[in-house]
Structure 1
């Protein structure tokens, strides 16, 4: 009979994610993961096969949190959709987590999109990472686009505007704010970015 796991898998994957965020994939060794998670090399290999297996499980967990956080934050009645978009932008540019039970990150390295960081580093040579990063982006883009559609139905955004285009615009600005924040720009600057992005949303034409 196989022995039951004696560790909290989610805790281990959160710790591994933080290590990958800090050191990158190539800069993280199995020993680094072992030190970050408290698991010995044998336990890591037994549970995840190898370093790549740890990364895949960490990214899968991240995808699951994205599926809960932004979607719940942006879902709701058509009335109030524009306000939800505004609040989402403000939280996102400051790296405030929207997934349940995830504490605020201590710095911009911890606040930036984990999937995007991994895709930029190794996605071009790793189809599995590229696929998971694409899935992460698609989850958030869909949630933002649906909120835009709700605001359009409520008469707050130009009904002729393409919701997917606007979602791509807002998410490009959010991901760009990760870089601006990492350079040490002030919270006021990040708020200004969010407000400028919000102002770009096309309002209905006056008749």
Structure 2
């Protein structure tokens, strides 16, 4: 009986993700991937065609996981502003636990490959725009509920939030103490033009 290939594939993607996340696309060798996944080179190439093919699927897996986490946090709260605050609370906890400063795989990849690989840049840009869109929709709902001032631009504020998320992800490589993240997040949230009741 054949093995359940889909389950095996997911396992391989998770193990390969850890390697790419730690050392980047360029810094990862096929030997590294063979060691991490316990697959022979022929099996790896048979399933993914190339290191790049495997990396593209890893990015898709990582991005889908990110989209699910963000949407779950932003959509499951009657108060849109409370949802954004909860997101940043969880985000702060995530980056504080990143003791080796590996950051975000998508952001890392953009910094490494955006000027060299148009297809990868466009793929990741699409995922990041989906996350930005979720923030914009949440901020629009906040405005409709009277939690955000009428003069505010949800689209511009969503870009502002994304810029801060990117910045903290890059900053995590320097491994600052948690008070640094807390201060940045507090200032980010305080900058939102929230209606005080």
Residues 158 and 205, structure 1, Cα contact 8 Å, conserved in 2 = no
CA distance in 1, matches of 2:167, 2:3: 46
Residues 94 and 190, structure 1, Cα contact 8 Å, conserved in 2 = no
CA shift for structure 1 position 176: 0.8
Q: Which residue of 2 aligns with 1:22?
A: 22
CA distance in 1, matches of 2:141, 2:7: 43
Residues 144 and 167, structure 1, Cα contact 8 Å, conserved in 2 = yes
CA distance in 2, matches of 1:31, 1:46: 15
CA shift for structure 1 position 113: 2.0
CA distance in 1, matches of 2:150, 2:142: 9
Residues 56 and 129, structure 1, Cα contact 8 Å, conserved in 2 = yes
- Unaligned ranges ≥5, structure 1: 97-103
CA RMSD of aligned residues (A): 2.2
TM-score scaled to structure 1, two decimals? 0.85
CA distance in 2, matches of 1:154, 1:3: 51
Q: Which residue of 2 aligns with 1:32?
A: 32
> 1:51-130 counterparts in 2 under 5 A?
51-76=51-76, 79-95=78-94, 107-109=100-102, 112-130=103-121
Q: Which residue of 2 aligns with 1:100?
A: none
CA distance in 1, matches of 2:98, 2:8: 21
- Unaligned ranges ≥5, structure 2: none
For structure 1, which segment, 55-64 or 40-49, has the greater mean C-alpha deviation from structure 2 after superposition? 55-64
Q: Which residue of 2 aligns with 1:99?
A: none
CA distance in 1, matches of 2:39, 2:9: 11
Moved over 3 A (4+): 2-7, 104-107
TM-score scaled to structure 2, two decimals? 0.89
CA shift for structure 1 position 61: 1.1
- The 3 A distance-change label for structure 1 pair 105 and 35 is farther
Residues 156 and 204, structure 1, Cα contact 8 Å, conserved in 2 = yes
Aligned residues: 195
Q: Which residue of 1 aligns with 2:193?
A: 202
Aligned partner of residue 95 in structure 1, secondary structure: helix
Residues 19 and 32, structure 1, Cα contact 8 Å, conserved in 2 = yes
CA shift for structure 1 position 182: 2.1
Residues 67 and 140, structure 1, Cα contact 8 Å, conserved in 2 = yes
Q: Which residue of 2 aligns with 1:49?
A: 49
Aligned partner of residue 8 in structure 1, secondary structure: helix
Q: Which residue of 2 aligns with 1:151?
A: 142
Aligned partner of residue 147 in structure 2, secondary structure: coil
**Cα distance per residue 1:121-180 (max 9 Å; x no partner):** 112121221111111201210111111111111111112211111111111111111232
Aligned partner of residue 157 in structure 1, secondary structure: coil
